[in-house]
Structures are given as structure tokens and as C-alpha cells.
Structure 1
Amino acid sequence: MTRQRIAFQGELGANSHEACSSHFPEMEPVPHASFEDAFEAVKSGDCQLGMIPVENSIAGRVADVHHLLPSSGLKIIGERFKAIHFQLMANPGAKLENITTAMSMPIALGQCRRTLRRLKLKTEATGDTAGAAKMLAERPDPTRAALSPALAAEIYGLEILLRDVEDEHSNTTRFLVMTADPKPPPPPFTAPCVTSFIFRVKNLPAALYKALGGFATNGVNMTKLESYMENGAFTATFFYSEVDGRPEDINLARAFEELSFFSERFEILGVYPADPFRAK
């Protein structure tokens, strides 16, 4: 029987790869060079699901992802949280005292700043954490190390010199699980749920204030509201938002009715169970 496939952005061994393996061990993780490629793999049916990072507790939202969500044609069916740990790894036989340069993507280098300064290491930016490990494996250098997830050391045959070198051990990334099914099965009614949606308000005075008023008056908890520019225009009228509850809940249904009245575009991107991590 052929295994189902789950798409992620990055090289094998990336944090997204670890997230796929941890939460969907029965599926085959499939790497893609860009978020667009990962979305397209799900849309085309090459992969049945996508695992996409959207925000990090230290670095904030992942650039570009929210811009791609509305145009992807995909639906959100789940969320997963993953603790992020970075390992300082090098070619077999390399010694920590001989390392002069650490390679990784800029966000990872920034999240390990204290360790890098303590070791007096120069930094070199790469496009991907696991990509740094792959590069080191392909071009061995006893003076260079990669900051990558532990899985990357296993895949590329590197040795871990220092473990868990991130500055904040509470470092966590939130992932969204995506499907091409336009009408996925609803989540079980026993589970607390999150609804993700986008909207663009009408060009009217106080339109945003009025559009959001229904959530307050109906007691709906809005956990996220982010604005985005569209088509290079310097007018922040496009919004991505998340709320607790399901669209069929009477309070949320009334809030969405009021929102729609003051919006020229409104689209629900997904209704999915809230990850238990939220309660921690």
C-alpha cells in the first residue's frame, strides 16, 4: 500500500520535517524549495496534506505565508505546535575548539545569539536550517558548523557538538495543516475549535471598527488580527484573523453577519480543533 504524502517547505531534516514526522508518522514527508511549491503539491494532489509554519513565539509571523493562504485554494484542517531546538553540528571528527563559523538561516542564528557570542563564532546565513547541514555534509570543513535540528545530523551524517543551544527554551513554532479538499469533514463537536478567515473592509469611515464590533457584542474571543498590503498598495485593508468557536455557533454566526455587512470580501479558510498546547 502506497503511503500518503505530506508536503513541507525546506530540506530534509528541517523543523518542518520533524513536525511532519512527529504529528503524521504514517505519512511520507516530502520537501519543497518554497512555500508556493509546497502549496502547489497539495493542490495538485501530489501530496495529500501540507504542514506549513505560520508563526514563532520568538520571531513572530512567518513572512509571506498569510499572503499565500487566500490564493492557495487550500483549507486549514488543523494546527500543531512544536518546540524548536537547535543543535550545533559539524563534520565527523571536527572539534568545537576549531570551529570559527556557524551556518544557518538568519532567524535561527538570531535565536542562538547568546551561544554564538559566547563561542565567538562568525555567522553565515543560509536559506534553510537543514540546508546548512546538507551544505556542510557536501563540503566538509573542520572550521565550520551548522545550526540545525537534530534530525538533520542524523540524515546528513554530522556529529552534534552542542545540544539545544537556542537562547529561549520555550521557543515554539505553530504549524497549520492544509488540505485541497474544498469541504473537509467538520471537527468533532466535543473539541474546542478555531476558525480562521480573511476579510477586506469597505472603503467607509470607521469600517474596521464597525466590522469588528459584532465580535465584542456577541462575546467572541478574537485571538489574532493581522493586516496586510495587497498588490503593493499602501493601504492596510486586508486582514487575516482567528477566533475561538465554529461558524455555526450562534454568537459567531451573528458576528460574521455583522462583519460581512461592512466587508467587501469575507472568506473562511478553515475550522479546526484547537491544539491542546493552547491550554498550557
Structure 2
Amino acid sequence: MTGQKKRSGGDSANTISFQGELGAYSHMACVAKFPHMDVLPCPSFEDAMAAVQSGAARLAMIPIENSTAGRVADIHILLPDSGLHIVGEHFEAIRHCLLCSPNASEETLKRVTSHVQAIGQCRKNLRAMGLERIPFADTAGSAKHVAEAADPTLGAIASELAAEVYGLRILRKNYQDEGNNTTRFVVLSQDATTATDYDEAVMTSFTFEVRNIPAALYKALGGFATNSVNMTKLESYYESDSFTATEFYADIEGHEGMENVARAMDELRFHTKRVRMLGTYPQERKRGVC
């Protein structure tokens, strides 16, 4: 399968890193968007980003949110300090499979292991089958664990690709509770791109910290409304242990080379303590149909 192998002494300029084992949904996203690139599995998001920082990979594929489970933990905190730039986005439809070893069946299955988000996305089906839930670090890793254990009572929730990679049986396809379960990924690079690099609609992502004063967020965002800039995402989080310094992650349509966006960003900067630009990149065509 194209892009399935782990890079070994290959061309780092043609390599994309991701978090997880081979067969992970991040691996599938890499293959879908960059079918001719080699892949580099990494144990953590930090390691996947570090591979790009060190030059071991040219790009990283990082999940940022899921339509069912919401924000992917830690990404908003890791991105601004990584020194990397968002240069693309990708929407991957998540089609979970209930997997087991070749010597197992639905009758022998008692327990299922997977990433906590995958378990949450299949909770109704798991409850209906009366299966015990065991959290694991990632979906593909759980499939690998089940293959190695060869325990007929243990199953995994992972991708069809993971079943192929680790030689597991697929008991049920489309095991997720919601049919439109989709994960949005961002593509990271050392090199930033600008709107002039594209002939298509673009997105711009950034984080900002509001001042600790009344109506700070209202004032900071007013310029986007008055300048007709569409903000497609706004999410708050705390960067440290303090509950007084609120950070926000935002996506907008357009770029600062556009007059209305430039005016909105100027007003944002006036009413905030800091703004950190994460990247300008082309809109994925699937954005309008997800």
C-alpha cells in the first residue's frame, strides 16, 4: 500500500511524520493527502513535530479536532511554541472497525481496547455488545497489541488499514456511533507560506491572549464583525495553571493581504496582549461538505 512503510534511510524531504503506529488514522490521512510521500511514525505529537524541526521529515500531519469528540488535547498548546507553520489542512472520515485476532469471534470477545476518543465514539455499540472498555495510547497501537496478545477475549477499535497491517479479523465495519465522524488535521512545516502562494480560497489560523478586563473578548473580536471576516472557529483554553490568562485559538477565512482582514487583525492586536500567527493555507475542498 502506498505510503505504508516506515521510512528507513530514505529522503527526509519526501517524508511526513505522524503520531502513532502504522495503521493509525493519522497514517491514513498522510496517505490520502500525500500518497507519494514516505511516512514516519512517532510515539507522540511532540516527536512528530520534532521530526520536522530536526529535518528528519519535511511535514507533519497532526489532528486538531474531531466532529464527535471535539478538540484533540494539547495541540493548541504545542502548536504556538513549536516554531512550525500550518501549511495545509485535511479532513479524514473516521470509519472505525471492531477488530480481533484470527482465533477470535464476537462470541469469544469480552474486552475491547483503543484510544479513549475512539472508545467514546463507539460507546453505544460497545454498551450494546456488553464489552469492557480498556483505554490504550492510540488506535493502531491497540490493534498491534491485540495481534501480539492473540487473546480471543480481547478486541480493538481501529482502522481497516490497521487490520491489514497487523493481520487482524474485521468483525464489524463502520463501528462508530455517528456516521459523519470526521477528524480535521493540519499539515505543519518549518517554512511558512503566504496567500500569494495560492490561487484558491485560504484559511488563516492564530492564537491570542485577551487582556484581563471586562468585555475584552467582545472588543477584540469586534473588528471581524464590522469588516465582514468569517471566523469559522473560536476556542478557549488555558496555557498554564493560571485561570486568569485565557488563550484563544481561531480560524478565519482569508489572509492579512486582504484589506478587511488586515483591519480586523489590527483591531484584534490593539485589544489583546499578544497574537501569534500559526499559518495561512489553502482551504480543503472537503471543508464545505463535512
Q: TM-score range by the shorter chain?
A: over 0.9
Distance apart, 1:170 and its partner CA? 0.5
Q: Report the counterpart of residue 146 of structure 1 in structure 2.
A: 156
Asked if 1:90 corresponds to 2:96, the answer is: no
1:248 partnered with 2:248: no
Q: Verify: 1:65 aligned to 2:71, yes or no.
A: no
Residue pair 2:212, 2:245 contacting (<8 A) in 1 also = no
**TM-score of the pair, normalised by structure 1:** 0.95
* 1:233 and 2:242 are equivalent in the alignment: yes
Equivalent positions of 1:21-60 (< 5 A) are 21-60=31-70
Matched, 1:270 2:240: no
- Deviation of residue 143 (structure 1)? 1.3
**Whole-angstrom CA distance in 2 between matches of 1:128 and 1:67:** 20
What does the per-residue CA deviation read over 1:194-229, in whole Å, with 9 as the maximum and x for residues that have no partner? 100111223444332221111111111111111221
TM-fit CA distance, 1:189 = 4.5
Q: How does 1:177-216 map to 2 (within 5 A)?
A: 177-181=187-191, 183-184=192-193, 186=195, 188-216=197-225
TM-score by length of 2: 0.92
Instruction: Give, in angstroms, the shift of residue 142 of structure 1.
Output: 1.1
Q: What do residues 19-55 of structure 1 show as CA deviations (whole Å, max 9, x unaligned)? A: 1111111111111111111111111111100000000
Q: State how far apart, in whole Å, the 2-side matches of 1:38 and 1:189 are.
A: 26
Tell me, yes or no, if the aligned pair for 2:143 and 2:156 is still in contact at 8 Å: yes
Q: Is the 8 A contact 1:227 1:236 kept in 2?
A: no
Deviations 1:211-261 (A, max 9, x none): 111111111111111122132101243211111111110000001111111
With over 3 angstroms needed to count, the CA separation of the structure-2 counterparts of 1:260 and 1:185, relative to structure 1, is closer
Instruction: State how far apart, in whole Å, the 2-side matches of 1:57 and 1:187 are.
Output: 31
1:261 correspondence with 2:259: no
Count of matched residue positions in the alignment of Structure 1 and Structure 2: 279
Identity %: 52
Which string of whole-angstrom CA distances, capped at 9 and with x for unpartnered residues, describes residues 99-149 of structure 1? 111111121111112221222211111111111111111111011111111
| Structure 2: runs of 5+ lacking an equivalent | 1-9
Match in the other structure for 1:131: 141
1:134-165 per-position Cα deviation (integer Å, ceiling 9, x unaligned): 11111110111111111111111111111111
Identify unmatched segments of 5+ residues in structure 1. Answer: none
Separation (CA, whole Å) in 2 of partners of 1:51 and 1:213: 33
Helix, strand or coil at the partner of 2:107: helix
**Counterpart residue identity of residue 69, structure 1:** L
Alignment RMSD (CA, Å):
1.5
- 2:174 alignment partner, one of 154, 160, 164: 164
Q: Which amino acid aligns with 1:190?
A: D
Name the SS for the 1:19 alignment partner: helix
- How far off its partner does 1:184 sit? 2.8
Which amino acid in the other structure matches residue 6 of structure 1? I
